[in-house]
Structure 1
Amino acid sequence: MPRFSANLSMLYPDLPFLDRFAAAAADGFKAVEYVGAYDQEPSALKALLDQHGLAQALFNLPAGNWAAGERGIACHPDRIAEFRQGIDKAIEYAKATRCAQVNCLAGIAADGYDRSALELVLIDNLRYAAPRFADAGIKLLLEPINTRDIPGFLINSTDDYERIASAVKHDNLYLQYDFYHMQIVQGDLIPTFLRLQSRIAHVQIADNPGRHEPGSGEINYPNIFKLLDEAGYTGWV
């Protein structure tokens, strides 16, 4: 069976964020992940992880104003300095929490720019970020996300990831493979996972429709969990 990480941005919504660490540990999770917790001191996060015997599996680079609907700034031409400042902050938090990987959200396409121009900004930012994370011993990930849940999100498919990674030309740009998003965007879940497995550093799951728990929808998760074991995937899910 794969190693499961509790996504504290999705689970235990009735609890204050800092109380979710204890809830995850009580439910048997050995790791946690979340969108980001930059409003908390890194030392406080480390203390909670240590207190409850949890690993930090993943978090995202600073992604702009989440409450206002922003979902990443890496593709925004007028946010380049902000994105690059966020790299230093993410590395600080990753070192404090002993987190070995950080995910990048490309962002929603900015008005007034065509896709190719935004992709060039994203590529340039990732070229800047990838070696800096590598020097810190941290993997940098890029996540494709469907546009039904996040209209206008720039990077949607594994083809998009491969095209961007090919342009970035740095080994330290991995794929976060979310079976839920990929089912909506492209399907062909298992062959795509196997083809790209060497570049997949993290897996996320939810069922479709509705982004609910595995077993509530159309995705055959027992078969996928069997696949992950048989394929030798050792990362967190």
Structure 2
Amino acid sequence: MTALRFAANLKWLFTELPFEERFDAAAAAGFTAVEYSSPYGFPAAELRRRLDGAGLRQVLINTPGGQPGTPTRNGSACIPDLVPQFRRELDLALEYAGVLGSGLVHVTGGIRPEGVPAADAFATYVTNIGWAAERAAGSGVRLVLEALNQRDAPGFVLTSIEQAAGVVRAVGVDHVRLLFDVYHCQVQQGSVTTRMQELWPLVGHIQVADAPTRTEPGTGELNWRFVFDRIRALDYAGWIGCEYRPANGTLAGLSWLADYT
């Protein structure tokens, strides 16, 4: 079976430190790769220097999003009035991905604005993803799509992982794939490994956190031995993003990794 590879998500892990110091901390903890949602507060060249200095690989970034509480906090891809903004954001994400060497860009879907019918928001999203796929062609970057759960992100444009998979199928190109987030799937729908098996040909990236509190694996309701054995059996060769909120500090919460690496 394929060995599992874990990447530290620097938005969620090592938050005891300023963001710029988290690269070295992740490397010191044994990680060889990182992901994080928003690099845009720093020059891309500076982040690349920190990656190289720590001996880390950049796995994934997100397209830009607004501040917490704003209409674009989870992206702008589904907002009909913001199509030009979405296109600028996608171009910026591709620019950063190129400098950072990130092979994946998560195109964040967005929250449906009040007064906009769900069908209109979804149609905007699908159109924007189609445009993004054309834009990313030949860049060496894969775009990944993720369904957030409606408890944490009420009104998110995608309401199920199957709906996200349907968009991947509709776009129909190899460089648009599914981001399978175990936590969001469990909270929204359950039957994690059954859904993973059914959608496996479309999966381009995996992220993990335990439910119901989004803490590290082993602190909640999921059977992680079963989940990780299933991922191994499917011969997953990509990275698994550790996108969780440590229950009692980052380093104290990393002991679970020894059981699965």
- TM-score for the superposition, normalised by structure 2: 0.87
CA RMSD in angstroms comes to 1.4
Aligned to 1:181: 184
How far, CA to CA, are the matches of 1:191 and 1:75 in structure 2?
28
The answer as to whether partners of 2:142 and 2:175 remain within 8 angstroms in 1 is yes
How far, CA to CA, are the matches of 1:66 and 1:169 in structure 2?
33
Structure 2: give runs of 5+ residues left out of the alignment: 241-261
Aligned to 2:131: 128
1:222-237 matches, within 5 Å, as 222-237=225-240
How far, CA to CA, are the matches of 1:6 and 1:134 in structure 2?
27
Give, as a single letter, the amino acid of the residue that structure 2 aligns with 1:6. Answer: A
Give, as a single letter, the amino acid of the residue that structure 1 aligns with 2:112. Answer: A
Aligned to 2:141: 138
Report deviation, 1:13: 1.4
Structure with bigger RCO (C-alpha 8 Å, 6+ apart):
2
Structure 1: give runs of 5+ residues left out of the alignment: none
Runs of 4+ in 1 over 6 A off after TM superposition: none
Aligned to 1:37: 39
194, 205, 219: which one aligns with 2:222: 219
Give, as a single letter, the amino acid of the residue that structure 2 aligns with 1:165. Answer: V
- TM-score for the superposition, normalised by structure 1: 0.96
Report deviation, 1:122: 0.4
Report deviation, 1:169: 3.8
SS state at 2:148 partner: coil
Give, as a single letter, the amino acid of the residue that structure 2 aligns with 1:91. Answer: L
- The answer as to 2:174 corresponding to 1:150 is no
Aligned to 2:16: 14
- The answer as to 2:115 corresponding to 1:118 is no
Report deviation, 1:5: 0.4
Aligned to 1:65: 67
* Identity score, percent: 38
Give, as a single letter, the amino acid of the residue that structure 1 aligns with 2:21. Answer: D
The answer as to whether partners of 1:124 and 1:168 remain within 8 angstroms in 2 is no
Aligned to 2:95: 92
